[in-house]
Each structure stands twice: as C-alpha cells, then as structure tokens.
Structure 1
Amino acid sequence: MSIDSGSGEDLSGLASTLTDSYEEFSVDPLDDWTTRSMVATMVPLLVALSVLQMVSGSVLEAYEEVLLTNPSLLILVPVQIGTAGNLGSIMCSRLSTQLHLGTFEFRLDNPDIRANSGAVLALGLTVFVLVGIAAWAIGQALGGTLTLLEVMTISLMSGMLLAVFVVVVSLVSVYTSYRLGYNPDDITIPVVTNVCDITGVLILFAVVGLVL
C-alpha cells in the first residue's frame, strides 16, 4: 500500500503551521511574575493609596473632639477599620484563588459569590457584636457615658454597612484587575484595605450622627 507524497507534505505543512501558531499565541504564566512587572504595577498604586491614607487621617482628625468625649467610639474606630480590612482580604483571596483556578464567574447568581459574600457578612455580624460589647465595657472603664444599646447600635449598623461595602469593593476590584490584565493577588488586597479605611471612618460617623 503506497502513501501519496502530496498528502504527506500537506499534513507536514499543517502540523508546522499549528506548531507555529501555538508558539506565537501561547503565553508563559511565569512571564507575569517578574520583579520588574510587579514593581511597575505596585509603586504607582502604593503612591496613590498613600495619598488616600492621608485623606483618611484628615477626615478622622475632624472628629477628634467627638472621639475624646466618647472613649467607646475611640475604641471602635481602629477595630472596625481593621476588621473591615481583614474581611476584605479574606474575600479577595478567595475570589482570586477561584479566578486562578478558572472557576470564577462575575455573576450575581453565581453560587460561589453568594456563598463567599454570605460568609463574610456572617463573620462580620459575629465580630461586630463582640466589638460593640468590648468597646462599651472599655469605654465605661474610661469614664464614658454611652449606653450599651447606643454602642451596640453604632457598632452593628456601621459594621454591617461596612461589611456590605467590603463585599462590593472586593468583587469589583478582583474583576477590574483581571480585565485590566493585572494579577489580583498584587492589586486587590491593598486597594480594599486602604479604601475601607476612609470609608469606614465616614460610615461610622454617619451612623454616630444618626444614633446620638
């Protein structure tokens, strides 16, 4: 049985074309993990976030008198901001892992997104209850006049509003960094934690203005 030499040449040409196309369009994932690319991405971002932190400090300074008058609120500020940053880090890490595994879909009806969001909100509810009780107790020891109901209301309302904000910002930052071609592991956590600082202060004192 003989093989047509013309067909063999056609198959060889097709194989060569496919190989060249693969080499042209395939991208080594390790190429994105260079020191140069990470520095080029992170330095401008950290500069912008540093400016945002200074704005956050200025906003907080505007409420200095209120904080010194109510020790419970003074305790709530760093704890709530830190807790929001931790919740955001958890959310971003889980979403980034799903993105790298290829299981992340940016849809509201995605069960993974609903599960992660629910877990963050449930964890926030638990933590902010404990934070409210601790802030009231320490505030009383320091001569504060706010009641347990007032402190708990402020802690829960501001904390849960901040937790919802954390979920939204985490989803948007992960999706946006992916669409722009950046590694979410490099971008999302610094963005979420810094944005939550200034937003946490604004939400907290907005709730304080409503409650007191």
Structure 2
Amino acid sequence: MSGARSSTWTVQGIARAMLPLLAVLTVVEVGSGLVLDTFEEQLLRYPSLLVLVPVTIGTAGNLGSILAARLSTAFHLGTLSFAPDDDRLLGNAVATFGLAVTIFPVVGAAAWLVTSITVSADLGFVTVVLVATLSGAVLAVLAVVVTFVATYAAYRLRLDPDDVVIPVVTNTCDVLGVLVLFAVVRLVL
C-alpha cells in the first residue's frame, strides 16, 4: 500500500485524481444554489428556515465527514470489509444516525431562538424543531448511504478515500440538505 500511496502524493497524481472530481462537485454545488433559489419566497417568508439552511447542510456534511474519516481509517488499517454483516459498518451507521437525532433538535431550537431574538418568531418553536429533526434524520440516512458508496467506489477505483470521500460527502449533503429540508417543510407546513 505504501508504494501505491507514495506515487499518488505527487502534484500530477493529486491533480489526476482530484481535478475531475472537483470539477463535477463544482457543478453539483451550482445545482444546489439553483435549487435553493427556487425556495427564495419561502425563505423570505419564514426567516427560521433561512437560518436552518446553512446549519442543516453543514451539520449533515459534518456527520458524513466523521463517518468518512472513520471508514477511511478502518480501510487503511485493513479492518473494513464492505460486507453487509460487518459490525464496523453497522455500528458507525447507527452512531451517525444517533448523533443526528441528538443534534438536529438542538439545531432547530437554536434556529428558532436566533430568529426570535433578531426578528419576530415566524414559525412556532415545535414546528422549527420538528422540521430540523425530521430533516436531520433523513439526511443522516442519506449521508450514511453516500459515505458507504463513496468509500466503496474509492476502494474499487484504487483512490485514497482520505482524498475523495469527504469532498463527495459534503458536496452531496449540500444538495441533499436543501432538497430534504424543503421536502420536510412542505410536509410539515
């Protein structure tokens, strides 16, 4: 592994692996911005949602990044098998979901508090916490799936998961975060 790894630690090796990926992820981020733009009216009507957007997508990306780092470490240690019955995969997935359902209600409460202090509370406390919690739970599941798929793809393509998985997960969670948040908003409101 060290011989293959050292050959990718050149400027040419890094550029070959990362440039196409970063180009695709840039297009994905532009798409996320365009999707977000379609919800401008709702964001201006409900400032609590405006506060929730960056925190929700950032937190989902962070949870996916934590999982990606753990899987990458296990991969490099040779303890990751990608088998459906691998306890390490299941345990990390459950821990990620557990973190999400713990932290997203706090995110919702903080968004409501910040909004009520800076402007007038536009949505009720329970509504904002419910939107954040449901969005976070769905995003945690999606972040787990994206992280598993990206880590496995990196393995199959002989790429270092340390280099590619976190950018893929965070950018994908940005797009999914916007879509999930507003899908939940449509269900709740």
Structure 1 range deviating more: 33-42 or 161-170: 33-42
TM-score by length of 1: 0.85
Paired residue type of 1:152: V
Q: Which residue of the partner structure matches residue 151 of structure 2?
A: 174
Change over 3 Å in CA distance of 1:112–1:27 after alignment to 2: closer
User: Which amino acid in the other structure matches residue 210 of structure 1?
Assistant: L
Q: 2:59 aligned with 1:83, yes or no?
A: yes
1:190 to 2:167 alignment: yes
% identical aligned pairs: 49
Partners in 2 of 1:128 and 1:209 — Cα distance?
18
Match of 1:106 in 2: 82
**Matched AA of 1:206:** A
Query: CA separation in 2, counterparts of 1:153 and 1:43?
Result: 39
CA contact (8 A) 1:70 1:139 kept: no
* Kept in 1: contact 2:105–2:130 (CA 8 A): no
- Specify which of 42, 66, 71 is matched with residue 18 of structure 2: 42
Q: Runs of 5+ in structure 2 lacking a partner?
A: none
Residue 164 of structure 1 corresponds to 141
Q: Tell me by how many angstroms 1:32 deviates.
A: 2.9
- 1:74 matched to 2:54: no
Q: What is the CA-CA distance between 1:175 and the residue it aligns to?
A: 0.6
- TM-score of the two chains, using structure 2 as the length reference: 0.95
Q: Compute the displacement of 1:108 (Å).
A: 2.4
Which residue of 2 is the match for residue 20 of structure 1? none
Q: How many residues align?
A: 187
- Report the equivalent of 1:56: 32
C-alpha RMSD of matched pairs (Å): 1.3
Q: Compare CA radii of gyration and give the structure with the larger one.
A: 1
Deviations, residues 87-122 of structure 1 (Å, cap 9, x unaligned)? 111111110111111110112221111111111111
- Distance of 2:122 and 2:27 partners within structure 1: 35
Instruction: Report the CA distance between 1:179 and its aligned residue.
Output: 0.3
Segments of 5+ residues of structure 1 without an aligned counterpart are 1-25
State the partner residue of 2:124. 147
The amino acid that maps onto 1:95 is: L
Contact 2:57 2:177 in 1 (8 A): yes
> 1:125·1:156 contact (CA, 8 Å) conserved in 2?
yes
For residue 70 of structure 1, report the CA deviation from its aligned partner: 0.7
Provide the secondary structure at the position in 1 that maps to 2:95. Answer: helix
Work out the CA distance in 1 between the residues paired with 2:72 and 2:108: 31
Q: In structure 2, the residue corresponding to 1:28 is in which secondary structure? A: helix
